[in-house]
A = this chain, B = another copy of it.
Amino acid sequence: MENSKVSYPMTTEIISKEQLLAHWQGHRSLTRRVIEAFPEDQLFTFSVGGMRPFGEMAKELLAIAVPGAKGMATDKWETLNENVDLGNSKQKLLEAWDQATEELNHWWAKIPTGHFQDTAVAFGQYEDMVYCSLLYFIDNEIHHRGQAYVYLRALGITPPNFWER
């Protein structure tokens, strides 16, 4: 280093863009297995304490992930639309989930790395720094999936291990 003309800073990055995508997709893979663990007749009906069935929560997660990444990639935000018609079908939900996995990879690649420290109005409604919105999307998935774990336990079903992604 003493002989080099330009000095580079030490890598002090907490997490890279690629690592953050892998982290999210790992969570999404676990959420997919949680969806799979529900009996079809309970996925869109079973509830504890008056909360939404997990199938409805999963539709919210679908409404956020790809449109969220697309918004960050293009800086054009559409309003949040959680009312995707999947006919209360577990199979259709899983197919939509898998399609979203591919589309998320596609849009993620187009997000400029420097954009995470910008401010944006996510879904035309939620103004925050982009990294905060992104973490909110992931955290919201973990939050609702944690609720699905209780639903599954209440149904007498052992959920997938939290640590397997």
Task: Check A110 for interface membership: any CB of B closer than 8 A.
Answer: no
Question: What residue of chain B has the Cβ atom nearest to residue A143's Cβ?
Answer: B146
Tell me if A's interface is mostly helix, strand, loop or mixed. helix
Task: Check A149 for interface membership: any CB of B closer than 8 A.
Answer: yes
Q: How far is the CA of A46 from the CA of B154 in the complex (A)?
A: 13
Using an 8 Å CB-CB cutoff, how does the interface string of A112-155 with B read, 1 for contact, 0 for none? 01101100000000000001100110011011111101111111
Using an 8 Å CB-CB cutoff, how does the interface string of A12-23 with B read, 1 for contact, 0 for none? 111111011001
Question: What residue of chain B has the Cβ atom nearest to residue A50's Cβ?
Answer: B153
Q: How far is the CA of A161 from the CA of B162 in the complex (A)?
A: 24
Which residues of B sit under 8 angstroms from A16, Cβ to Cβ?
Answer: 14
The interface on chain A, measured as residues whose beta carbon lies within 8 A of the other chain's beta carbons, has a size of 46
Which residues of B sit under 8 angstroms from A153, Cβ to Cβ?
Answer: 48-51
Which A residues are closer than 8 A to B by beta carbons?
6-17, 19-20, 23, 27, 48-51, 113-114, 116-117, 131-132, 135-136, 139-140, 142-147, 149-156, 162-163
Besides A8-B9, A13-B116, A146-B149, 18 new A-B residue pairs in contact (Cβ under 8 A), listed by A number:
A6-B7, A9-B9, A10-B114, A12-B114, A13-B14, A14-B14, A14-B17, A14-B116, A27-B139, A48-B150, A48-B153, A48-B154, A49-B150, A49-B152, A49-B155, A143-B143, A144-B146, A146-B146
A-B contact pairs, 21 of them (CB 8 A): A12-B113, A13-B13, A13-B14, A14-B14, A14-B15, A14-B16, A14-B113, A15-B135, A23-B135, A27-B139, A49-B152, A49-B154, A49-B155, A50-B153, A51-B153, A139-B139, A143-B143, A143-B145, A143-B146, A146-B149, A147-B147
